[in-house]
Structure 1
Amino acid sequence: YRKAQPIDSPRARYPGFKPSTTLLKSGTIRRDGARKLTCDIIFERDVAVKLRDGITIYTDVFRPANTTVKSPAIIAWGPYGKEIGGQWLDDVPGRAGVPLSMVSELQKFEAPDPAYWVAHGYIVLNPDARGAYMSEGNQTYYGRQMAEDGYDFVEWAAAQSWSNGKTAFSGNSYLAISQWFIAAEKPPHLTAIAPWEGFYDGYREAGRRGGIAQPGFGEEIVQTYAGNAYIEDHVRMQLKDDLMNPYWEDKIARIERIDVPAYVVASYTSPIHTHGSFEGFRRIATKDKWLRVHNTGEWDDYYNPAHVEDLRKFFDRYLKDIKNEWEKTPRVRYSVLDPGAKDTIDIETTEWPVPGTTFTKFYPQADKTLRSAASPKEESLSYEATQKGGEVLISFNITETTELIGYSKVKLWVEAAGSDDIELTVAVTKRKLDGTLTSGAGKVQNIAAAGLLRVSQRALDTKRSTESEPFQLHTKEELLKPGEIVPVEIALWPIGLRFRPGETMVLSIA
């Protein structure tokens, strides 16, 4: 653990502990340029909620005024504060594509806007998770503790006088990750979830993707957590614990247990959320699940009015029992990215991966091309790993429109001259007609099907691996011996990418 950022620090942006009830009148504008309220809202601030171990956390409640009708509740579970807090859209360049006029600024970071949802008969609950701000205890980083806390909160919400007994979760990024963990705990009054881009495996998808520590992003995020006690130092654990162990097992949500209706949103371009979003959809147990794959950013997609309306139709069906034919919504709506031309969105299909996908093998050649047949003789390519920009680019010229959809892998035979290990980054991307690459090795957040692997952790889980999706165990280290050449299989995260005649498919290895 490490000490949390003090709640009175400038970055915490804490408005103070103010248990109170306020009537927000229709027409209220919280901030110049923000959307005005279209109905009266009862705003209850810093409501105490007792958890099973005696810890008290605090939540804000936004609910309809002037009514005795019991309403369903939408919960936004996260660590950044119940209002502006340690994270805020204003911190992101261009407000991440979310204009101020699109929201009321009553919303917490990455969470539903109470101005919209209360106007449509919902209650919005914004709890500060354990250890955040004035909530008691030490703050954890996902795991079973958060799952149990969320379970208790769901059951508290369902028992309140204003509740119709039905609850759901909504939110993106951290607020999506928390849904996988809490829903897997199966609280009886959880009715639906809507995870908007969130990983579920804290080792393979975030902390040590491919067995390689990823402390930079984690450190950036943990510095936004504010509280009065301590926070779990997951960054230190990334650097300390190389292999899968009980700590990391706790950071994997038991998504196979999730049996409530789910509206899942994914994209191809998140460096941490892409795989988990798709895998969550595939592996949750419920048959009532829908996937939408967008082509923009997670925040602007989340607040896009058309998508908010789409989510409301889903919630209306399961939280209000409105017979609105939601079930006729296509089970999967995916996008195909087309840098240099126009993306195609909302392609309808019945499942993911897309039915009818064909797999094609390409073989790297010594002349740095990809061909449909292996070279008849032994050949090799090399690069200087210790030099900046060291990589190999291997190309295949596209002669007819081709789409790379879903999952793929790279199989290599590798040697580390003068070393006993290698950290590999591979990516399949495209070179546009103007000669520019849409991404490359080491730039996995851009448009590419990318994968990482620490070669000493190459051992596969033979039960989980498939021909197109290798799955590493990460339970043992096998260092390379001098002159040893070993095979490795690297899973590439899912992608939807179109190649046009004259463009080039590029495999980068670094």
Structure 2
Amino acid sequence: MRIDWDVPITMDDGVVLRADIFRPVEPGEYATIMSMGPYAKGLSFQEGYPGNWNRMIEAYPEIAEGTTNKYQNWELVDPEKWVPDGYVCVRIDSRGAGRSHGHLDPFSPRETKDFYECIEWAATQEWSNGRIGLLGISYYAINQWQVAGLRPPHLAAICVWEGSADYYREMSRHGGILCEFLGSWFQRQVVRVQHGTGERGPRSPVTGELAAGPETLSEEELAANRINPGQDILDRPLDGDYYRDRSPDFSKITVPLLSSGNWGGQGLHPRGNLEGYLAVPSEQKWLEMHGDTHFSPFYTDHGIALQKRFFGHFLRDEDTGWTQQPPVELQVRHPGEKFVQRSENEWPLRRTRWTKYYLDPDGQALGTTPSSGADLSYETTGDGLTFLTPPLTDELEITGPVAAHLTLSSDTTDADVFLALRVFDPDGEEVTFIGSNDPSVPVGLGWLRASHRKLDTQRSLPHRPWHSHDEIWPLEPGVPVELDVEIWPTCIVVPAGYRIGLTVRGRDYENEGVMLPGAMYPMKGTGPFLHGNAQDRPAAIFGGVNTLHFTGGVAPYLLLPVIPG
């Protein structure tokens, strides 16, 4: 390869961003795979995230084969697996991060405009064929949605790999409840490589240059040159311009799209991939859903082959067989981390049998017949209530969006409802799965703050309620209200003899957890997507007793997308 380090790209306001460009030695015009983000292009995957790297290579040795691994970077393609096939790989440190100057403001309109300008800059370089493709995981996927909405003329295709979209509903406030992820993520992964960290930060193992330098600024100077997203979302409990400015306009995305999501990404990743696939008006769009960790499927031979078939078709007019790619490709999940690939024509699946499983207070059962009975109360600081089906007589597939309808009251003026869709084996042990950000996640999770129960009737569907989050409807203590709760889409084939469970709680789902070497946060079933901020959830309001009601209205139910055998 020929590698050009720290290539300057000047923005319209004079700020200079820096890019590393990996390209074939032979002169020519090549297709370009581009990414832009805040994790520092000079920080190696192995040094920055050693625990994740070691676990990935142990599980999939093929990832480290056929490459020296010198240029591995968190959540980005390995140039040594792309440049030999005639691609240029461009990595750009976003404004205020790594070796790029400027004010650090992730997902902002300014950063999106920078991405637009970088795409157009790359398309005019002598090594470019004028067609730019975007590829990367998570952050490097989320900002693809945003910049594609600006319609850069030379953007030819995007592969959004596990990328959320709605800054309010998916990244900041689940069901209106503040998620602590953004604040902790920013400090843990972004601030440590803010531009100006300099000598206090890491060095590139290849060039020896400071990954977040070259200058070293004081802590006060660094703090003044960045936003505080944790505080920003705490200060803004309702949806509005701040969140919309950091969310894409799906209606303006017409570029060819491959949306690739993770069933186990509850808390950040699957919802945006599915909502985006449905909403974009592009005539050329595909959906792929898988399981496993956040990064392994991206780097495996299977993942790279899928990506190259897509980009080979749209960036180089190659006959890669992509014209035969089904609109929807699902890795259908079974217990024991077994996945069966299946092609479909649409999402949600047209043959879905939307089935109501009613909550029965007698024995805390789930059944297909409405039930009534005595109300059930639970301490919001405890384990809540779990409703179970009888052991299944036949295998049952659940694939698609999930929702629940509850009638609930609180002994205070508000209530946070946490739902967990679960599976239990014949011995009564919960079956969990490898998730994108936690190794033992349940089948599905949902959240709703009762005072945010107002629905947008134009956007709501029976299987996907849409809350407007534009005003507060306080509760009257002891007075029941009806709640429609979105549980994020999922997929599981439940064997005969197993049980399906729905847990209703007043705090985050939690299991015994798994200890992982080098983990960045506790692993107890929800990863970093926790909701324990005392300012957002004061104990005087959210630390009391909630009651589920079973009389006087619609029987509470869980709506499941059952797929016929």
What corresponds to 2:64 in structure 1? 101
Task: Output the aligned Cα RMSD.
Answer: 1.9
Q: Name which of 368, 373, 386 aligns with 2:369.
A: 373
* Shift, 1:298, TM fit: 2.4
1:337 touches 1:497 (CA, 8 Å); kept in 2?
Answer: yes
Q: Secondary structure at the match of 2:99?
A: coil
1:348–1:298 CA distance, 2 compared to 1 (3 A): same
Q: Secondary structure at the match of 1:177?
A: helix
Pairs aligned (count): 462
Q: Name which of 90, 105, 120 aligns with 2:50.
A: 90
* Shift, 1:426, TM fit: 0.5
What corresponds to 2:86 in structure 1? 121
1:171 touches 1:194 (CA, 8 Å); kept in 2?
Answer: yes
1:127–1:446 CA distance, 2 compared to 1 (3 A): same
What corresponds to 2:537 in structure 1? none
* Shift, 1:434, TM fit: 3.1
Amino acid in structure 1 at the alignment position of 2:64: S
Say yes or no: does 1:399 pair with 2:393. yes
Amino acid in structure 1 at the alignment position of 2:407: W
Say yes or no: does 1:320 pair with 2:316. yes
Amino acid in structure 2 at the alignment position of 1:326: W
Structure 1 segment 88-487 matched on structure 2, within 5 A = 88-92=48-52, 94-96=54-56, 97=59, 99=61, 101-102=64-65, 104-216=69-181, 218-225=183-190, 226-228=194-196, 229=222, 230-270=225-265, 271-340=267-336, 343-367=338-362, 368-375=364-371, 377-386=372-381, 389-397=382-390, 398-417=392-411, 419-439=412-432, 446-487=441-482
> If the length of structure 1 is used for normalisation, what is the TM-score?
0.87
Deviations 1:348-396 (A, max 9, x none): 1111111211101111111200122222x4532211113xx43100011
Q: Name which of 77, 85, 89 aligns with 2:36.
A: 77
Query: 1: distance between equivalents of 2:300 and 2:36?
Result: 21
> If the length of structure 2 is used for normalisation, what is the TM-score?
0.79
Q: Secondary structure at the match of 2:259?
A: strand
Q: Secondary structure at the match of 1:324?
A: coil
Q: Secondary structure at the match of 1:75?
A: strand
1:457 touches 1:476 (CA, 8 Å); kept in 2?
Answer: yes
1:486–1:311 CA distance, 2 compared to 1 (3 A): same
Structure 1 segment 486-505 matched on structure 2, within 5 A = 486-505=481-500
Q: Secondary structure at the match of 1:259?
A: coil
* Shift, 1:444, TM fit: 11
Q: Secondary structure at the match of 1:359?
A: strand
2:432 touches 2:441 (CA, 8 Å); kept in 1?
Answer: yes
Deviations 1:449-489 (A, max 9, x none): 21101111110111100111100011111111122110000
- Comparing 455-464 with 81-90, greater Cα deviation is found at 81-90
Amino acid in structure 1 at the alignment position of 2:185: E
Identity of matched residues, %: 29
Deviations 1:166-211 (A, max 9, x none): 1011000111111111111110000001111010011101111111
Deviations 1:284-338 (A, max 9, x none): 1212111111121221100001220221111111111113331101111112222
Q: Name which of 3, 10, 14 aligns with 1:50.
A: 10
Deviations 1:204-239 (A, max 9, x none): 011111111112453134332222342221111121
What corresponds to 1:9 in structure 2? none
2:443 touches 2:491 (CA, 8 Å); kept in 1?
Answer: no
1:169 touches 1:193 (CA, 8 Å); kept in 2?
Answer: yes
Query: 1: distance between equivalents of 2:163 and 2:497?
Result: 36
Query: 2: distance between equivalents of 1:166 and 1:381?
Result: 60
Query: 2: distance between equivalents of 1:231 and 1:77?
Result: 18
Query: 2: distance between equivalents of 1:222 and 1:255?
Result: 29
1:268 touches 1:447 (CA, 8 Å); kept in 2?
Answer: no
* Shift, 1:137, TM fit: 1.1
Query: 2: distance between equivalents of 1:221 and 1:351?
Result: 36
- Comparing 235-244 with 121-130, greater Cα deviation is found at 235-244
2:421 touches 2:442 (CA, 8 Å); kept in 1?
Answer: no
1:60 touches 1:125 (CA, 8 Å); kept in 2?
Answer: yes
Q: Name which of 17, 22, 46 aligns with 1:62.
A: 22
* Shift, 1:93, TM fit: 6.9
Query: 2: distance between equivalents of 1:178 and 1:105?
Result: 26
- Comparing 80-89 with 172-181, greater Cα deviation is found at 80-89
1:292 touches 1:332 (CA, 8 Å); kept in 2?
Answer: yes
1:146 touches 1:181 (CA, 8 Å); kept in 2?
Answer: no
* Shift, 1:439, TM fit: 5.0
* Shift, 1:89, TM fit: 3.7
Alignment gaps of 5+ in structure 2: 197-221, 506-565
Query: 2: distance between equivalents of 1:241 and 1:124?
Result: 38
Query: 2: distance between equivalents of 1:444 and 1:317?
Result: 35
- Larger RCO (alpha carbons 8 Å, 6+ apart): 2
Query: 2: distance between equivalents of 1:72 and 1:199?
Result: 26
* Shift, 1:445, TM fit: 7.2
- Comparing 41-50 with 144-153, greater Cα deviation is found at 144-153
Amino acid in structure 2 at the alignment position of 1:132: A
2:38 touches 2:106 (CA, 8 Å); kept in 1?
Answer: no
